[in-house]
Amino acid sequence: MVCKTGARGEQLEEAKNINKSLSALGNVIKALTDGKSSYIPYRDSKLTRILQDSLGGTSRACLICACSPASWNVQESISTLRFGTRAKYIKNKPKRHVGYGGTHADELLAARQEEIDKLRAQIQDMKASSTANQRIITRYQRKYGDLRPVPSGCTPDEVDGPSVNMNEFLDLANERSNKLQGQVSAIHKEASLARHALAEVERHLLDEKHVFSQVRTDVAHLLMKHATHDNEMQSEAKRLDDLLSMAKHRAKTMLGKLRPLARAAAAVGKAAQAVQDSARKQSNAMHHMQGKVSS
């Protein structure tokens, strides 16, 4: 195709980049349709990254194949039709769009946020339960004073009933408090992991936004370059058209001036031919007379 278009310089480099992107797109379509590839090379080019959702994601894809009826483009037409045939077998999986664009990162972010909210609610419930237990302990301490553990040598009959009950209650309260502290520590750990995952998702989103912004800038630059090139081509075509019109006008003017000269030259030629014929006749007559005189 490059040899047919005759591209040179920047146009040649641009054509090379376009061919690389189309080659990467062909590899992606092949990987999506053969049913054997576990890895889809979306990141091999900016074009495939832009079309990722349309090719194997949640969007509805439409491919328009442009073919030429000319016989000298038959190979390109066949290649284009094969390309379109492979693309027909791509099957997208519809999903409900969520957040910024329905991407996996947005879904993961929403799931992590829901987990964080649940953990925060559990922490608040545990804090409230711990506060209630602390109030009960404080109330019993005010009522019964400084409660000490039961000595190992004493029997339940040797100790007052309220003291034994309070010791058991304190043991249970301490055990429950320790258990709650362990649960709170585990929840804090899970919350920390969730925050790290959230930070990773946000970083991934920023990277994707940066890539999209760069691609959008490149596309705008290419469109501007094509528009400038088209304007230059139109200006050059207009200049050549003006030169052609001027040349036609000059040729018409010269023809108008040359026609009288051609007619005059034709008249002079006829007059010269008549003079030559007259001179020839006179010369023949002179020779004839000289012949008679000599005889």
Model pLDDT for residues 65-109, shown as the tens digit of each residue: 888 888 888 888 888 888 888 888 777 666 665 544 445 666 777
Q: How is residue 121 written in tokens?
A: 């609610």
Can you tell me the distance from the alpha carbon of 94 to that of 92, in angstroms, rounded to the nearest whole number?
6
CB neighbour burial string for 264-291, b if at least 16 within 10 angstroms, e if fewer: eeeeeeeeeeeeeeeeeeeeeeeeeeee
CA-based diameter of the chain, in Å?
198
Q: How is residue 200 written in tokens?
A: 């990773």
Q: What is the pLDDT of residue 150?
A: 46
Q: What is the pLDDT of residue 264?
A: 80
Domain boundaries for CATH 1.10.287 within the chain:
104-218
What is the CATH T-level fold of the domain 2-88, as seen in this structure? Methane Monooxygenase Hydroxylase; Chain G, domain 1 (1.20.58)
Can you tell me the distance from the alpha carbon of 293 to that of 295, in angstroms, rounded to the nearest whole number?
5
What is the CATH T-level fold of the domain 104-218, as seen in this structure? Helix Hairpins (1.10.287)
Residue 132 has pLDDT above 60, yes or no: yes
- Of the two residues 160 and 41, the one the predictor is more confident about is 41
Domain boundaries for CATH 1.20.58.980 within the chain:
2-88
Residues whose CB falls within 8 Å of the CB of residue 37, separated by 6 or more in sequence, listed in order: 30, 31
Can you tell me the distance from the alpha carbon of 55 to that of 29, in angstroms, rounded to the nearest whole number?
8
pLDDT tens, residue by residue, 225-267: 888 888 888 888 888 888 888 888 888 888 888 888 788 888 8
27 neighbors 41 (Cβ within 8 angstroms): yes
pLDDT interval class at 56 (50, 70, 90) = low
pLDDT interval class at 160 (50, 70, 90) = very low
Most confident segment among 129-143, 145-159, 169-183, 191-205: 191-205
60 neighbors 35 (Cβ within 8 angstroms): no
Exposed / middle / buried, residue 42 (Cβ in 10 Å: 0-12, 13-18, 19+):
buried
Task: Please state, as a whole number, how many other Cβ atoms lie within 10 Å of the Cβ of residue 173.
Answer: 16
Q: What is the pLDDT of residue 3?
A: 67
Residues whose CB falls within 8 Å of the CB of residue 65, separated by 6 or more in sequence, listed in order: 80, 81, 83, 84
> What three-state secondary structure class fits 70?
coil
